[in-house]
Amino acid sequence: MARKIWDIASKVIVWTLVVFSVFMAVITVSTVATADKNERTIFGLRFYIVQTNSMSKSESNAHLDVHFNAGDIIIAKIAKDPAALREGEIISFISANSESYGETVTHMIRRVETNRDGSTLGYVTYGTNTGTDDETLVAPEYVLGVYVGKMPAIGQLFAYIKTTPGYIVCILVPMLLLLLYNGINVVSLFRRYKKEQTAQMDAQRAELAAERQRTEEMLRELMELKAQLTQKSDTSGEGDKQGADTEA
């Protein structure tokens, strides 16, 4: 019973480690390949790690449906027509603000500024947590995508993985545990094989010994039968000789 429980528990632990390791590998590879890289997309989606809490939930924006915090990864879909966005949409764009110039920022559109002909001049954006408008208009050509979702805290996990302790805990240790488990399994299988091989050889020796004993018994029985036949033949010969002497 204890052996069965240990087998089940070891399988659960191993599969947990496998799933965790695969998950870490996928997250690491996909994040390294796509996160915060404007030229990289997956099915028309871009991924950005949130750096500040300008869009986190507060009393002033609690009525809004969308909030995200520093360390989250947001998903932005490439806009088919960057000049056709509307008030209330959340967009990722290349910032022209003095404090974040050239960086990717994700804020909500407060209003749309238009030219005299009605074409879009740019967007006034703001962080819903602060309520403060960004310094400069966001021109349509600087819009990178429209917010469609988020992965909470994944960015923090990725940032932790990039540190030495994070790499050791999340990647190195699980891989070493898997290698150790597989090594123990190999040794266990080898010992089991040797044990089965030894048992098989012992069984063969026992069978040979039993066969030898049967052969010896058969030989002994044959020798006894031969002796009986020889004795019977000698007795019969003496009787015939006595009968001949009597007739004479």
**Per-residue pLDDT tens for 213-230?**
998 889 888 888 888 888
Give pLDDT, residue 189: 84
Give pLDDT, residue 24: 66
Radius of gyration in angstroms for the set of CA atoms belonging to the chain, rounded to a whole number:
44
**Most confidently predicted of 18-27, 34-43, 104-113, 231-240:** 104-113
Share of residues in the chain with pLDDT > 90 (%): 34
* CA 103 vs CA 61, 113, 232: distances in Å: 24, 22, 119
Residue predicted with more confidence, 31 or 74 = 74
Is residue 161 a contact partner of residue 24, using CB atoms and an 8 Å limit? yes
Give pLDDT, residue 39: 58
Instruction: State CA 242 to chain mean position distance.
Output: 101
Separation of alpha carbons 143 and 106, rounded Å:
10
Region 40-57: mean pLDDT is 87
Give pLDDT, residue 30: 57
Q: Give the residue extent of every domain in the chain.
A: 35-162
Q: So what CATH class is 35-162?
A: mainly beta
Q: Is 90 exposed, middle or buried (0-12, 13-18, 19+ CB in 10 A)?
A: buried
pLDDT digits (tens, 9 = 90+) for 129-187: 999 999 999 999 999 999 999 988 877 777 777 788 887 887 788 888 888 888 888 88
Separation of alpha carbons 48 and 51, rounded Å:
9
Residue 127, pLDDT above cutoff 90:
yes
Region 36-57: mean pLDDT is 81
Could you tell me which of 125, 78, 120 has the C-alpha nearest to residue 105?
Answer: 125
Is residue 93 a contact partner of residue 143, using CB atoms and an 8 Å limit? yes
**Directed axis angle between helix 173-247 and helix 2-34, to 10°?**
140
Q: Which long-range contacts (C-beta less than 8 Å, at least 24 apart) are formed by 178-181?
A: 178/14, 178/17, 178/18, 178/21, 181/10, 181/13, 181/14, 181/17
Residue predicted with more confidence, 105 or 10 = 105
pTM above 0.75, yes or no: no
Average pLDDT, the chain: 84
Task: Name the 3-class secondary structure at 109.
Answer: strand
